Amino acid sequence: MSRNRTGYPRWLGWGIGGTTAVVLLLTGYAAFFSGDGEPSRTSDRPAAAATDAGPDPTYAAPSDWTEPERWAALPRGARIDRFGNEVGFPQTAEGAVAMLVTANATEVKSGHTHVDVQRDVYGSYLIPGDRTEENIRKIERAAAESDTEVRRDMGLPENDDLPPGAYSRNHVIGYRVIEASPTEVTMWLLSRATVRPGETEKEESAYTSLLAAAEWSGGDWWLSAASTESAIRRHGRDQRPEIAAPGDVSFNTARWTAIRAAS
């Protein structure tokens, strides 16, 4: 797998025309786009500025527990779409967060590739106006490259399926809203990405953060080029919140909100 100067894997994203990109955390791969439209790796321990990526492989959750000061039980979607995904989130800031959290809860495993994941997210959460033949081709190409790189990184033949027990997962564990209006919400997402090359292999994990946005249109929240471009323009060079797992005192000082499972 291609790696940056720190030795970490290259993060991937979706190109949506020109210099605009819809950004997702997908199974441990994410793209953070700086103000000039160039992607950079998010950090396990963030740098001083959002555009200065510098992963710190030494971060680990502390052994003692400090209760998070902020918790949220996010709303569920009103219905399940044809891809089996929750949609129809309420028109609130928490509804926008819930859509992004759901879109970024992903898994690649035997019989279920990055291409499958990207197609489902594209079909469920990308605003209809951005769904073009050119964009789906870009998305599928990037996902296929990601599948190849994952298999290569695991020491597998590039065209083989993942073996039983191998997986790459992403789970959003916290968020921090930056701006919220009835039609657009911008936030930082905090995720835990895990990878295991096989049934008997050790699981590896990393914490990542991502600037993300949601747009309200036609009765639901969506990922869109317009909202993402707006988020990049307004906050792409902001101070990145410190990454810390729930239970770390730094989780509170960074003003993250932890996510409880909805009932």
Task: Indicate the SS3 state at residue 34.
Answer: coil
Angle of CA points 22, 26, 29, to nearest 5°: 95
As a whole number of angstroms, the distance between CA 170 and CA 211 comes to 16
Which pair of tokens denotes residue 17? 């025309």
As a whole number of angstroms, the distance between CA 74 and CA 101 comes to 9
Q: Is the pTM of this model over 0.95?
A: no
Asked if residue 55 lies in contact with residue 28, where contact means CB atoms within 8 angstroms, the answer is no
Helix or strand holding residue 94 (H, E) = helix 93-103
Per-residue pLDDT for the chain (263 aa), expressed as one digit of tens each?
333 332 333 333 333 332 233 334 332 223 323 333 333 333 332 222 233 333 445 567 788 899 999 999 999 999 999 999 999 999 999 999 999 999 998 888 999 888 888 888 999 999 999 998 888 888 888 888 888 888 887 788 888 889 999 998 889 999 999 999 999 999 999 999 888 888 888 888 888 888 999 999 999 999 998 898 899 899 988 999 999 999 999 999 999 999 986 54
- Tell me the one-letter amino acid at 124: S
Phi-psi map region of 191: left, alpha, beta (phi>0 left; psi -120 to 50 alpha): beta
As a whole number of angstroms, the distance between CA 228 and CA 204 comes to 30
Task: Indicate the SS3 state at residue 143.
Answer: helix
- The pLDDT value given to residue 42: 33
- The pLDDT value given to residue 73: 94
Asked if residue 175 lies in contact with residue 191, where contact means CB atoms within 8 angstroms, the answer is no
Angle of CA points 76, 82, 84, to nearest 5°: 50
